[in-house]
Amino acid sequence: MHGKVALITGSAKGLGKKTALTLAEQGCHIALNYVHSEAEALSLQLDIERLGVRCIAVQADVSRREQSEELARQVNEQLGTIDILVNNAGPFIRERKLFADYSQSEMLGMIEGNLVSSLLLDHLVLPGMREKRWGRIIHFGFGHASESRAWPHRAVYAAAKTGLVSFTKTLAVEEASYGITVNMVCPGDIRGSHKEMSIHEVRGLRDGETPLGRPGSGEDIARVIAFLCHSDSDFITGNIMDISGGLDPIRPWIKPS
């Protein structure tokens, strides 16, 4: 992937940050994206540049058409045509509540941030990928999203992500002949500092909810994304990949007594 240009949304912190570092280590030039975390983005930019690749940090709310367009324009102008798009950004309301208790602004924010943002950016990068006849698009889902099961207290988030599942599969078929792959990664419940940790760092920790017995790490997700972005992974497209240690967020595993 040496010399490829990768745009990772929501990449100043967390899983996006770990993904950006991993792709930079593979030789990709990196476009970071943030909304509020400017200090973290600029610090990460310096870290990535020390790896010997180019890196820019662009502020943009990718759920807004004008800002997505400006983000894509800046990346194309400063780094070149986008080869890899990782749609990591997406809001999540951790508070559990019924659909009837959501405000309209909360509903629209979840749909725009988790579904519309990916559609907008995918549409913007496709012409350049088609021209090169090479591209990698990664979407983010949740465990068992491909099954479209009922998820009480997560109705809006689940609706947005399961809609994205269908779109992922459709776009993969439509763009396959252009050398573009489209896949979705579905992380387990990776929280807090674990999002930026390595597998080695979390391997000694215990997690009673995950059947594997340890919590997930940012590296668990980033290494799969790097694999999907490899040139020799071109036969893998339209897949919805759970990376969860066996965790089912909808029907939690009951640990044997």
pLDDT digits (tens, 9 = 90+) for 43-67: 999 999 999 999 999 999 999 999 9
Check pLDDT > 70 for residue 257: no
Q: Are strands 180-187 and 84-87 parallel, antiparallel or unpaired?
A: unpaired
Q: Which of 91, 86, 89 is nearest to 108 (CA)?
A: 91
User: pTM of the predicted model, to two decimals?
Assistant: 0.94
Whether the CB-CB separation of 114 and 62 falls below 8 Å is answered with: no
Length of the chain: 257
CA dihedral 157, 169, 117, 49 (to 10 degrees): 110
Question: In whole angstroms, how far apart are CA 138 and each of 41, 88, 93, 115, 241?
Answer: 21, 8, 22, 13, 11
Q: 131 near 125, Cβ under 8 Å?
A: no
Rounded to an integer, what distance in angstroms lies between the CA atom of residue 50 and that of residue 65?
Answer: 32
Residue 253's pLDDT is what?
A: 64
Higher pLDDT, 98 or 209: 98
Residue 102, classed as helix, strand or coil, is coil
Q: To the nearest whole percent, how much of the chain has pLDDT over 70?
A: 98
> In the CATH scheme, what architecture does the domain 5-243 have?
3-Layer(aba) Sandwich (3.40)
Cβ atoms of 11 and 33 within 8 Å: the answer is yes
The pLDDT score that the predictor gives to residue 255 is 64
Percent of the chain at pLDDT > 90 equals 81
> HSE (CB half, 13 Å, CA atoms) of 188?
23
- pLDDT for 173 equals 98
Q: What are phi and psi of 123, to 5 degrees?
A: -65, -35
- Model confidence at 204, pLDDT cuts 50, 70, 90, reads confident
